[in-house]
Amino acid sequence: MPYSMLVDVTKCIGCQGCQVSCKNWNDKQADKTTLGTDFGNPSTMNSNTYTVVKFDEAVAADGNHWHFTKAQCMHCKTPACAGACPSHALTKTEAGPVVYHRDRCIGCRYCMLACPFEVPTFDWHKAIPSINKCSFCADRVASGIEPACSRTCPSGALTFGNTEDVVKLAEQRLAAHPEKYVNYIYGKDEAGGTSWLYISDTEFKNLPLDESVEKAAYDRYGLSVMNKVPGFAIGAAALMAGFFFISGRKASAGKDGDK
Amino acid sequence: MKNFINQNKVISLILLMGVIAVLVRLVGGLGAVSALSDAQPWGLTKSLNILSGAALSAGGSLVATLVYVFGIKKFKPLVRPSLLMGAIAHTFVLGALLYDVGSPLEVWRIIFAPNIKSIMFLAFLCEAFYTTAVLCEFVPEFVTAPQFKGIADLMHSFKGPVIVCTAIFAVIHQSTLGALYVVSVSRIDPLWYSRIMPILFLVSAWAAGLAMLVVEAYLSDKSGRRKFDVGVMGAVGNTLAIFLFIYVGIRFADLAIEGGFGGVGGKGVASVWFIVEMLCFVLPAVMLLGSKSPKLLYIASLLVGLGVVMNRLGVAIVGWHNPAGITYFPSAVEFFVSFCFLLAPIVIYSYMSGIVIKDEKVTA
């Protein structure tokens, strides 16, 4: 039974408790941060931070409103990273999480190029580096506990559950308060569907959620190339071998003629 | 070795510092020697030393393919220098790939859970197989010492299959390098991004490989090592011009169909970079149409080499889109290491070619 998480942007108060509990569970140190114009603490995910709450001020007719959006790995249904990885170091589990296997990773960083949400991060200053990203607390979920972030969330902005229930809940909220919510569930179709879903009371363009992400799974780009390789290789081999045979015959014929 | 160091003190010192930089990278991680970040995972080493390096050293197997597979005997005198160049340069491309991988000492892990549908896996596989194949082609041509005669003869008996295999690997290898970036859709400027990057990389690598043979022949002539054979090199120039016209044709057609031309005339470096890059393909193509003096061949070939390097940098760096506004510029150490990865094969080549390619005594 796959799991999903619903992020209700209207309910997030920006306390960043999810960030703290995430660091706690994953044994990560605090980052040294400075106050910047984006109020990010820190501004982006990094090898030490699997999730960040992003702060955005949207200008509206009745004044300016703050929106707080939690960012982390989206856990795509068909992850581009897993398709790109040469050694299956990133895999999609049946329960939903896209998990990382350190013991298979060679550090090529191709997952970082492939991910449409630009999530995976790298240990730039380690001799033996890892790829770092949210694991959807796969270890907790496997033993029947919800992820650390949603367990901590005090305002009900994060709801963890079976994918069916979570989607139903999102649709119920949109239907119950059409005057409040934008009628769209981000993540339902993005990149072929993700395990993390977002609903919001402001246009998604005001949030740090990339609207240009395509609706189909991204692994098709890699596969479109890889599916052509066998035919291409066989064709090239036949062509080369054929020409080699012909030019070999010609050469030996030429030599016989010389004699 | 000792003689070489005494005669080339500056180069030896530079290469020694390059070795130190590699050690620093092994201890301190990639961040210690580069300006790479999570927003720019692949940078100068990838684009200059691996993508461009592989293209510039494509001549090795290409000439062997043209001569032995397609039976174009005219290029026979080029087989030895091009194979030597290809073998040395490609060893360093493989070296740069290992240097750029996060955990160079753990690359062997790839064999335990290979994802055969991954482009990166294919890239590793081709890089390893192609380098091996070029070395297999290279050994029987060059190893003539009596104590290695057994091995050389054994490898010589496999010459046919090796040449055919190298030719196949070369094609897949060069196109795979272009395919790598196909997955980064919407993160590369439309001036460079294309679904047919595998084909574009392959054809431009052929052009670059031939161009570097002309450059090598010209410089060998200038240093008095070998004479510049205008007849053979003119034929190389003709072949090069054909590849250039094919490349420019495909590239323009693709840009027109995909609407990539919209970026021309835009603000910033990308537009200017693109125009200069395209000139580096179009100008030599036109230059090579007329009469071919050695100097003209040389200049045209240099332009082609520059164009291919600019293209690879365009895909990987100039055209790379940074949403956070972080603009990547390689660090000084990064430039230095990339320079060393280019200098070392050139030094080794010019040293070895003086020994093994004394004159035009070509083994039939």
Check CB contact under 8 Å for A129 and B26: no
pLDDT at B363 over 50: no
Distances (CA, A) of A6 to A72, A79, A195, B25: 13, 19, 9, 42
User: What is the band of B362 on the pLDDT scale with cuts at 50, 70, 90?
Assistant: very low
**Beta strand residue intervals within chain A, DSSP E:** 3-8, 52-60, 63-71, 90-92, 98-100, 121-122, 131-132, 158-162, 196-199
Check CB contact under 8 Å for B31 and A237: no
Mean pLDDT for the stretch of residues B275-302: 92
Cα–Cα distance measured from residue B184 to residue B320, given in angstroms and rounded to the nearest whole number: 9
B121: nearest CA in chain A? Answer: A86
Check CB contact under 8 Å for A229 and B172: yes
Q: What are the pLDDT digits (tens) for A81-90? A: 999 999 999 9
Q: How far apart are the first and last CA of chain B?
A: 31
Task: Supply B307's token pair.
Answer: 């164009």
Residue B262: predicted pLDDT: 75
Cα–Cα distance measured from residue A221 to residue B336, given in angstroms and rounded to the nearest whole number: 35
* Set of chain B residues whose Cβ sits within 8 Å of the Cβ of A38: none
Cα–Cα distance measured from residue B335 to residue B339, given in angstroms and rounded to the nearest whole number: 6
A107: nearest CA in chain B? Answer: B102
Query: How many C-beta atoms lie closer than 10 Å to residue B120's C-beta?
Result: 26
Task: Supply B41's token pair.
Answer: 């995972």
Counts of helices then strands in chain A (DSSP H, E): 8, 9
* Set of chain B residues whose Cβ sits within 8 Å of the Cβ of A246: 71
Amino acid at B113: A
Residue A254: predicted pLDDT: 60
User: Alpha carbon B241 to chain centroid distance?
Assistant: 18
Cα–Cα distance measured from residue A138 to residue A141, given in angstroms and rounded to the nearest whole number: 5
A103 has a chain B CB within 8 A of its CB: yes
Cα–Cα distance measured from residue B57 to residue B209, given in angstroms and rounded to the nearest whole number: 5
- Name the average pLDDT for chain B: 88
Q: Which of A42, A71, A53, A65 is nearest to A15 (CA)?
A: A53
B172: nearest CA in chain A? Answer: A233
pLDDT at A60 over 90: no
pLDDT at B106 over 80: yes
Query: How many C-beta atoms lie closer than 10 Å to residue B267's C-beta?
Result: 7
Check CB contact under 8 Å for A218 and B185: yes
Nearest to B109 among A84, A104, A218 (CB): A104
Task: Supply A201's token pair.
Answer: 């009371």
Q: What are the pLDDT digits (tens) for B229-266? A: 888 899 999 999 999 999 999 999 999 998 878 777 77
Cα–Cα distance measured from residue A207 to residue A87, given in angstroms and rounded to the nearest whole number: 34
Distance from CA of B173 to the nearest CA of A (A): 11
Amino acid at B41: P
A88 has a chain B CB within 8 A of its CB: yes
Distance from CA of A163 to the nearest CA of B (A): 28
Amino acid at A165: D
pTM of the entire predicted model: 0.92
Distance from CA of A254 to the nearest CA of B (A): 12
* Set of chain A residues whose Cβ sits within 8 Å of the Cβ of B69: 240, 243-244, 247
Nearest to A243 among B69, B107, B120 (CB): B69
Task: Supply B286's token pair.
Answer: 């036109």
Residue A215: predicted pLDDT: 94
User: What is the band of B144 on the pLDDT scale with cuts at 50, 70, 90?
Assistant: confident
Distances (CA, A) of A237 to A77, A92, A154, A180, B359: 37, 35, 63, 62, 34
| Residue A231 near residue A123, CB atoms below 8 Å | no
A87 has a chain B CB within 8 A of its CB: yes
Cα–Cα distance measured from residue A194 to residue A187, given in angstroms and rounded to the nearest whole number: 5
| Residue A50 near residue A9, CB atoms below 8 Å | no
* Set of chain A residues whose Cβ sits within 8 Å of the Cβ of B98: none
Fill in the DSSP letter of residue A130.
-
Check CB contact under 8 Å for B183 and A244: no
Alpha helices in B101-229 (DSSP H): 119-142, 149-157, 159-179, 197-222
Query: Which residues, listed in sequence order, are joined to residue A70 by a DSSP beta bridge?
Result: A53
Distance from CA of A126 to the nearest CA of B (A): 5
Q: What are the pLDDT digits (tens) for B28-74? A: 999 999 999 999 999 999 999 999 999 999 988 899 899 888 888 88
Check CB contact under 8 Å for B115 and A114: no
Check CB contact under 8 Å for B112 and A87: yes
Distance from CA of B8 to the nearest CA of A (A): 33
Query: Which residues, listed in sequence order, are joined to residue A186 by a DSSP beta bridge?
Result: A198
| Size of the A and B interface in Cβ pairs below 8 Å | 173
Cα–Cα distance measured from residue B151 to residue B273, given in angstroms and rounded to the nearest whole number: 49
Cα–Cα distance measured from residue B211 to residue B292, given in angstroms and rounded to the nearest whole number: 14
Q: What are the pLDDT digits (tens) for B302-347? A: 999 999 999 999 999 999 987 666 789 999 999 999 999 999 999 9
Q: How far apart are the first and last CA of chain A?
A: 78
Check CB contact under 8 Å for B29 and A233: no
A228 or B1, greater pLDDT: A228
Pairing of strands A121-122, A131-132: antiparallel
Check CB contact under 8 Å for A243 and B71: yes
Fill in the DSSP letter of residue A31.
P
Q: Which of B338, B315, B349, B348 is nearest to B48 (CA)?
A: B338
A237 has a chain B CB within 8 A of its CB: yes
Q: Which of B115, B288, B105 is nearest to B124 (CA)?
A: B115
Cα–Cα distance measured from residue B54 to residue B58, given in angstroms and rounded to the nearest whole number: 6
One-letter-per-residue 3-state SS of B272-322:
HHHHHHHHHHHHHHHHCCCCCCHHHHHHHHHHHHHHHHHHHHHHHHHCECC
User: What is the band of A4 on the pLDDT scale with cuts at 50, 70, 90?
Assistant: very high
Mutation target among A31, A124, A223 for the B interface, most CBs of B within 10 A = A124
One-letter-per-residue 3-state SS of B89-131:
HHHHHHHHHHHHCCCHHHHHHHHCCCCCCCHHHHHHHHHHHHH
Q: What angle do CA A110, A113, A114 make, to 5 degrees?
A: 90
pLDDT at A257 over 50: no
